[in-house]
Amino acid sequence: MKRRSSNLELLRILSMFMIVVHHFAFHGTFDFKTITNTNQGALLATLILESFGKVGVAIFVLIGAYFLVEKSFSFKRVMNLVILTSFYSIIIYIILRVLKFGIPNDYSWTKIIFPYPIPTNYWFVTSYIVMLLSMPMLNIVIRNINQRKHIYIVVFNSLYSSYS
């Protein structure tokens, strides 16, 4: 029987909400030129809401990695992620096409059905798949280094990611 960690599940939900807020602020109906020229407060609020995305993604990935550390590698997990992402992409694409809602004419259906050879289409899913595939090696490293080296890795990755 799986033990649920309600505090981490709540944090995961909060991180998903932060990502949705980021997407709304970044891809929503804001007119940045108008906001910049007329209302500095609205611009500041928009920039703050956009910053939620990076924090939300970082939290979400850390929680996912935390739960994956004790699990053994399963190629089935990777395939399920690919199948689910493709399924929902196709369904959403069909719904948006039928409703004639917001899909550019040059957006090919092949990008929907075959997103994985081109990592930029679904950057998060592609990155998550890479993490899943590298977890066995990362788990070996995590189990075989001391606390000091672990801290060095965390500091290095934190500094490196702040520049990207």
Give Cα separations from 66 to 11, 27, 140 (angstroms). Answer: 13, 30, 14
Q: Per-residue pLDDT tens for 80-94? A: 988 888 888 778 778
CB 81 within 8 A of CB 132: yes
pLDDT value at residue 87:
84
Looking at 22-31, 50-59, 123-132, which range is the least confident one? 22-31
Confidence of residue 103 (pLDDT cuts 50, 70, 90): low
Average pLDDT, integer, range 92-112: 69
pLDDT beyond 60 at 65 = yes
Alpha-carbon gap, residue 52 to 21, rounded angstroms: 7
Alpha-carbon gap, residue 151 to 158, rounded angstroms: 10
CB 115 within 8 A of CB 89: yes
Domain ranges for the chain = 1-68, 72-164
Say which residue, 161 or 113, is predicted with more confidence: 161
Q: Per-residue pLDDT tens for 16-36? A: 999 888 888 777 766 555 555
Alpha-carbon gap, residue 90 to 26, rounded angstroms: 23
Residue 112, classed as helix, strand or coil, is helix
pLDDT beyond 50 at 1 = no
Residue 4 region by backbone torsions, left for phi larger than 0, else alpha for psi between -120 and 50, else beta: beta
Residue 103 region by backbone torsions, left for phi larger than 0, else alpha for psi between -120 and 50, else beta: beta
pLDDT value at residue 36:
56
pLDDT value at residue 132:
87
Alpha-carbon gap, residue 65 to 128, rounded angstroms: 10
Alpha-carbon gap, residue 139 to 134, rounded angstroms: 9
Question: What's the mean pLDDT when you consider all of the chain?
Answer: 78
pLDDT value at residue 14:
94
Alpha-carbon gap, residue 64 to 124, rounded angstroms: 13
pLDDT beyond 80 at 130 = yes
Closest CA to 62 of 147, 158, 156: 158
pLDDT beyond 90 at 10 = yes
Instruction: Say which residues have a Cβ less than 8 Å from residue 53's Cβ, sequence separation at least 6.
Output: 18, 19, 21, 22, 23, 26
